[in-house]
Amino acid sequence: MEMTLKRRETMHRLCGKGLEIFNEKGYYNTSLDDILQELSLSKGAFYHHFKSKEDYFINIVQNLIVQKVYALLIEPLDTNENPLPVIVESLENALEPGKKNEMAYGFMLNDFLTEFNKRNEEISGYLKNILSVWEVNLVAVLKRGKVDGHIARHVDCEGAATYIIASYLGMRSLMTDSTNRQLKYQYIQQLKQYFKSISATHALA
């Protein structure tokens, strides 16, 4: 039992630091030694816990990344209010660089997706799966918005969800340095504009 705790703790430290550095420098541009050095661990330690770099990253995806996406982008959708402002708020939040020197989690998806799309089908599959869950939830919440009279009846909820996701992912390519407040502000403003056009409120510029 006690040994299992030690194991879990080390694995946890590895995953946390790994996500941090992969996110910062990219997966293929980060060597295991880069991570190991920061944690003062050895190759031997690493391979005692993970069977490969790939296995390691899958672990990170399925624990840390999934969790973050849920917390930031999916769970906030679970309310009974008008979905549009709720979506805006979740995106605004997800684009926020972490408080102190945390990561800007909202940014990871586009980067990792792009990196793995052409290189590793398995990992890219897991990542696309996360997106797909997000999409399903967006669609559901948009449809409910229709029923509740917040969203115009003519709206294609699947299309709207796709559009929301695309614009969110695309922001990453533009916001290079995390301090880019201006871009985020512009994005949120235009998103609201778009939302106005699909909402059911009876006209009013």
Interface with its own copies (CB under 8 A): 24-26, 28-29, 109-111, 113-115, 117-119, 124, 128, 131, 152, 154-156, 158-160, 162-163, 165-174, 176, 183, 185-187, 189-191, 193-194, 196-198, 203, 205
Beta strands in 51-187 (DSSP E): none
In whole angstroms, how large is the CA radius of gyration of the chain?
Answer: 19
Q: Rounded to an integer, what distance in angstroms lies between the CA atom of residue 79 and that of residue 81?
A: 6
CB 83 within 8 A of CB 145: yes
Q: How far is CA 91 from CA 85, 103, 120, 169, in A?
A: 10, 15, 28, 10
Candidates 16, 17, 21, 30; binder of DNA (CB under 7 A) is 30
Give the rounded distance of the alpha carbon of 55 from its chain centre: 20
For the bound state, the minimum distance from the C-beta of residue 58 to DNA, rounded and expressed in Å, comes to 12
- Please choose which of DNA, its own copies, none residue 7 contacts, taking the beta carbon within 5 to 8 angstroms, the exact cut-off set by kind: DNA
69 interacts with DNA by CB under 7 A = no
For the bound state, the minimum distance from the C-beta of residue 19 to DNA, rounded and expressed in Å, comes to 15
Give the residue from 142, 144, 167, 141 showing the smallest Cα distance to 156. Answer: 142
The residues facing 199 across adjacent strands are 151
59 interacts with DNA by CB under 7 A = no
For the bound state, the minimum distance from the C-beta of residue 111 to DNA, rounded and expressed in Å, comes to 17
With respect to its own copies, which residue has the nearer C-beta, 45 or 133?
133
- Taking contact as CB under 7 A, which single stretch among the options 38-46, 130-138, 145-153, 195-203 is the one that binds DNA? 38-46
